[in-house]
Amino acid sequence: MTARLIDGKTIAADIRQEVGEGVEELIAAGGPRPGLATVLVGENPASQTYVRMKRKVCGELGIESFGHELPADASQEEVEKLVKELNADPKVHGILVQLPLPAGLDEEAILRAIDIEKDVDGFHPVNIGRLAQKGREPLFVPCTPAGCITLLKKAGAELEGANAVVAGRSNIVGMPAALLLVKENATVTICHSRTRDLASVCREADILIAAIGRPEMIRGDWIKPGAYVIDVGINRVDDPEAKRGYRLVGDVAFDEAKEIAEAITPVPGGVGPMTIAGLMQNTLRSARRAMS
């Protein structure tokens, strides 16, 4: 059997187009131009790339982007002061503090300083807390995990009552993905580095979300026949034949898993493009709410 490919690139492009149209409609209706502020502390090259990509897509969709950069040795007070200024700025509808922050900064306090109405990344403790509680709705949901759920639904996965396994329990991917699956009425198992027999747990999964950060660790014979597999991992592996000397692979051994699964995301081109698309959606929603 060869699995259906869950094409995150195309799905994310459709979402971006909808957001672009939504921006025009909002402005035509007398609303504000949505604005996203990015806060980059330090010079982590991956973070610089992510912020650049986010700002570029803002430009393509008519969302105004306000880039703020602070040096790696910025103090806690400086970062929080900037966040508070952005909270007060009516042109800013979303505030994105690029993670990870340099060592020494209190990440939770900085995320808590963001006005929850502008928490388009969904990492404010109140938004995460609401995600964890029955009957409570967060204002915003973290974009990568939300993208995983969108991909599953677009692929036609039945989430209600399904056995879902999330490999990884990080604050930014694994844990919120698991909470979202619970909200969808799946029966969820969360695995992590101390899980005794990851392979056996994965073999029970109707839905498998892999967010570990280990190249191709999840093998084909760990996949339950007919499972839906969402591979969040983005890992560089050396490849002398590739132009850059490396290629990107996921946490799942794609070529093996595709023979067993019902549907699977590729890496790249699966979950990756969904993150920025979700951020743009959240920024538009926030601007709409500011209008109403």
Which positions are annotated as active-site residues?
Answer: 54, 98, 121
247 binds ligand NAD (CB under 6 A): no
Work out how close the CB of 279 gets to ligand NAD at its nearest, in angstroms, rounded to a whole number.
Answer: 10
Q: How far is CA 193 from CA 31, 37, 168, in A?
A: 47, 35, 8
191 binds ligand NAD (CB under 6 A): yes
The dihedrals phi and psi of 6, each to the nearest 5 degrees, come to -90, 110
Distance in angstroms (rounded) separating the CA atoms of residues 215 and 250: 6
Give how far the C-alpha of residue 48 lies from the chain's centroid of Cα atoms, to the nearest Å. 17
Q: Closest residue (Cβ) to ligand NAD?
A: 170
Where does residue 75 rank: exposed (0-12), middle (13-18), buried (19+ CB within 10 A)? Answer: exposed
Distance in angstroms (rounded) separating the CA atoms of residues 164 and 181: 7
195 binds ligand NAD (CB under 6 A): yes
234 binds ligand NAD (CB under 6 A): yes
Q: How far is CA 80 from CA 77, 99, 114, 209, in A?
A: 5, 15, 8, 34
With CB under 6 A as the contact rule, the residue among 212, 230, 257, 290 that binds ligand NAD is 212
277 binds ligand NAD (CB under 6 A): no
With CB under 6 A as the contact rule, the residue among 38, 65, 127, 144 that binds ligand NAD is 144
271 binds ligand NAD (CB under 6 A): yes
63 binds ligand NAD (CB under 6 A): no
Q: Residues in the site for ligand NAD, rule: CB under 6 A?
A: 144, 167-170, 172-174, 191-193, 195, 198, 211-214, 232-235, 271-272, 275
